[in-house]
Every structure is written in C-alpha cells, then in structure tokens.
Amino acid sequence: MEKNDISILGAGLIGSLLSIYLKKRGLDVSLYEKREDNRKSQYKEEGRSINMALSDRGWKALEKIGLKDKIMPLAIPMYGRKVHDEHGKTTFMPYGKDNQAIYSISRGRFNRVLIDEAEKEGVKMNFGHRCDYINLHKNEMHFAVGFEKNRVFSNIIIGADGAYSALRMAMQKQGRFNYKQEYISHGYKELTIPATPNGEFAMDPNALHIWPRGKFMLIALPNPDKSFTCTLFLPFEGTKVCFDKINDKQDVIGVFKTYFDDAYQVMPNLAEEFLRNPTSALINIECYPWVQDKALLIGDASHAMVPFYGQGMNCGFEDCFILDSLIDKYGTTAWDLIFAKFQKNRKPDTDAICQLALENFTEMRDAVADPKFIIRKKIEAKLHSLYPKDWIPLYTMVTFSDMPYSEAYAQGKLQESIMDKVMSNPLITQNWDKLDYGDIIDQMDAAKAV
C-alpha cells in the first residue's frame, strides 16, 4: 500500500490551487484525478459550461501564491451587464465603479495552467485515478486505475472532488452527517456565438450579456478567440418555453427568433449545437460537518452552488486562502484544530453565498428587465458614491470585496428592506435623483442598531 502525507481528490480548479498552496509549504502532496491528463490531447470542453467569472476573492487567492500576473492575460474584463431586450435594444449596467470588473476565463485553459504550476512545484500527479472507496477510520482510499486497483493510505485526505464528491459519499454513510442536494427547476445548455467572418467579436466583449425573459434567460461571456460562450437557462418542463418542448430544428429557431432575435442573427450553428449539446441540471448542495477524522471537504464538494452569482470558483479559491491562513497561524501539523476552525468559521459564509446564488437567478432572468430595477441600481450606486462606507451595494460586497459572505448577506437584507420602502414612492422614476440620500443612510444606521 502506498503511503502519502497529504492526498487531494480532484485536480479541478480548487484541487490544483490547493495543491500548490500546500506544496509551497514543503509538504508532501499527491493529487488524484479520475479523468486522464487532458493537457496531452486537444481538450474537449464542448457542451459543458466553460467560462468562469473571476472576481476579487479569486484574484486574492491567486495573488497570495504569485499567480495573478500569470493568469491575468488569459482573462477578459467585463465591466457590467449588457441587457438585451426583445427588440435587440441594449442597456449597459455597470457592476461597480469604473475600474471594477469580473473576468471571463476559460475553465479548461485555466485548469491546465494550474495543473502545470502544481507539477512544477513538485505535486505528485495521478490522473486516471477513480476513487471507488474510502475508509475514513483507516485513512485509506481505493482507486480504480484502468483495470488495476490501487490502495493508498494518507495522513490527510482533502476532497476537492466537486458536486459528486467521492469523499462526501463516504462521509454520508457515517452517522450524523447532515446533507441536502436540491435541483432547481431549470436546466442549461451551452451554445456559441462565433467570431464574425472578419474575425471580430460579434458584440461588446467587455460585458456579460444577458437576455432576461422572466422565467428564462440567455447569457453570453467573451472568449479570447473572439467568440462568446452562451448559456441558455430554461425550465425543464411545464411552461410555454421549456427544454421538453424544444425537440427539433424548427422548435429551436422558433424560440430564438421570438425571444433572442439579435443573438440568433449571430449564431450560425445554433440548431445543430442545440440538438447536439447535452441539457444539464443545476444543483445546490449543503452539508455538515465537512470534517471527519483526518478528512476535509472543500469547494463544490462541500457547497456546490447554482452559477447565478458567479461565485462558485471564487468561493472555492477563498476556501483555499482561508485554510492557508489557518495554517499560517497554527502550523503544518495541527490539522485537527485547523480543520475544526475552518469548517466552523466558513460554513455560515458558504451557506450565505449558496442562498444568494439561488436568489440572484430571479434577479438576472427577471428583475434586470424592469426599468424600476435600473433606477434602484442607480440609487444604490449614488448612495455608494456619496457614502462609500455606509452603503456598499450587495453585488459589490460579494464581488469586489473579501467581506465574509454571511456579513454581506445580512447587510444586503437590510438594504433590501430599506430600498423596498424607497422604491414604493410612486414618483420614484421622476425624482430618484433628488431623494434625501442622507435620510436613507440614517434609516440604514437605525436598522443596524436594532
């Protein structure tokens, strides 16, 4: 039986990054990935959502180990949402202040760079290793490697193996493991807007494009090759426009011409892609504890969230950063203490971002199309510019700060209740710019004092 010090399951974004963090401390780190090493072949990333939106929490985690400058050239800044209405008219809504952006990056390319870095640092890479069984009491893992079995003992096991985590399945069989998996009623399908015939972006590349249509929506994020990756979110069944009712080329074109005509005009391969690509489901996972004996869950394995706040990867990276900060404090041997502190401190924050991600779906597919929503965002932006410390919009707290998610959530709920009152003014559309902004801040202070 092989013996490891630290074994990480999953060489996705979180597992790779964590392996670099731990290896840089001089620890013995082995990384296990069920897929083959895709760096050798042309990576196939068709049909699964491949664009991530890197924001402040993610950058901060990359910066701490000196990777920010290496990743930045791969990323395209998006400074706001560009909302497309049914007639193709667009409205730009900045995400934050002028220089604040989230960054579109290809998951596959990003992952390859992180794996290269991990290998360079001396992490032991094990591709094509499918974890079949874990004995948590004996710290023992069994891997299927082709037709062989490989038994591995490890002092520490960290599961960065995603929403369908093998480590979490093992924990679920233990007593007193709380677990929830919840699929939302919508699925998604990936599509493409290719570069134009003259090799240009078909739309503004520095925005996240949204076609909000109430119960469903289309979004598009830019790629360095001047294409956009689009994701269509529809209910699986039971409504007028749903995946169940789109079964042939005509259905596809019918829906796109009716609801997304300006996008349709720049999607030459739409129907083929639609019919070929899989329809995927969206899951929310919450569980606790994350620690059993010497094993820890991290990233999606412990808190898979729906993609509507663009925080899944950023939150997983922040997991790595926080775990590493605890190692800074307690050293590389006090794993019991570090794991206990990690799960206790971190759990309320991941609960908060899971919840925010669920709630933001309604905002993206519905609210952003409402003229009043735009006014609301303008009032909040103005409050923030007048009182930068007293009123930070929720999106800014989540995306452009490292405030704990749970705190952002609580502040966001307070702001929401105050803004609901502000927006109930029937003349708000006309006189939003002339409001008593100081009074709104006073209300916020009063609410906080309760």
Give the nearest distance from C-beta 173 to a copy of itself in angstroms.
8
Nearest CB to a copy of itself, comparing residues 100 and 239: 239
d(CA 302, CA 317): 13
* Cα separation of the two ends of the chain: 59
Do residues 432 and 375 lie in contact, with contact meaning Cβ atoms separated by under 8 Å?
Answer: yes
Binding status of residue 92 toward a copy of itself by CB under 8 A: no
Give the range of 179-187, 192-200, 219-227, 350-358 binding a copy of itself by CB under 8 A.
179-187
Give the nearest distance from C-beta 236 to a copy of itself in angstroms.
8
Within residues 214-253, the interface with a copy of itself by CB under 8 A covers 236
CA quadruple 137, 337, 286, 29: dihedral sign: negative
Binding status of residue 258 toward a copy of itself by CB under 8 A: no
Token look-up 């209405």 returns 85
Among 183, 268, 333, 336, binds a copy of itself (CB under 8 A): 183
Give the range of 36-44, 135-143, 147-155, 174-182 binding a copy of itself by CB under 8 A.
174-182
The neighbour count for residue 432, using CB atoms within 10 Å, is 18
264 closest CA partner among 66, 20, 49, 84: 84
Give the range of 44-52, 134-142, 176-184, 214-222 binding a copy of itself by CB under 8 A.
176-184
Give the nearest distance from C-beta 133 to a copy of itself in angstroms.
13
Among 127, 133, 177, 387, binds a copy of itself (CB under 8 A): 177
Give the nearest distance from C-beta 187 to a copy of itself in angstroms.
9
Q: What is the CA radius of gyration of the chain?
A: 23
> Which helix (H) or strand (E) covers residue 288, if one does?
strand 280-288
Give the range of 82-90, 172-180, 254-262, 318-326 binding a copy of itself by CB under 8 A.
172-180
Give the nearest distance from C-beta 183 to a copy of itself in angstroms.
4
Binding status of residue 179 toward a copy of itself by CB under 8 A: yes
Give the nearest distance from C-beta 290 to a copy of itself in angstroms.
15
d(CA 424, CA 238): 33
Give the nearest distance from C-beta 280 to a copy of itself in angstroms.
9
Do residues 29 and 336 lie in contact, with contact meaning Cβ atoms separated by under 8 Å?
Answer: no
445 token code pair: 């202070």
Give the nearest distance from C-beta 339 to a copy of itself in angstroms.
17
Binding status of residue 178 toward a copy of itself by CB under 8 A: yes
Q: How many residues does the chain have?
A: 450
Give the nearest distance from C-beta 359 to a copy of itself in angstroms.
18
Q: Is 278 helix (H, G, I), strand (E, B) or coil?
A: coil
The conformation of residue 403, written as its DSSP 8-state character, comes to: S
Beta bridge partners of 288: 178
299 token code pair: 């990233």
The conformation of residue 277, written as its DSSP 8-state character, comes to: S
Binding status of residue 182 toward a copy of itself by CB under 8 A: yes
Binding status of residue 176 toward a copy of itself by CB under 8 A: yes
Give the range of 123-131, 177-185, 263-271, 348-356 binding a copy of itself by CB under 8 A.
177-185
Binding status of residue 336 toward a copy of itself by CB under 8 A: no
> Which helix (H) or strand (E) covers residue 124, if one does?
strand 124-126
Region for 419 from its dihedrals, namely left if φ exceeds 0, alpha if ψ lies in -120 to 50, beta otherwise? alpha
d(CA 7, CA 158): 6
Among 146, 175, 197, 426, binds a copy of itself (CB under 8 A): 175
Nearest CB to a copy of itself, comparing residues 92 and 183: 183
Among 149, 180, 276, 421, binds a copy of itself (CB under 8 A): 180
Nearest CB to a copy of itself, comparing residues 205 and 289: 289
310 token code pair: 């663009």
d(CA 263, CA 249): 16
List residues binding a copy of itself (CB under 8 A): 172, 175-183, 236, 281
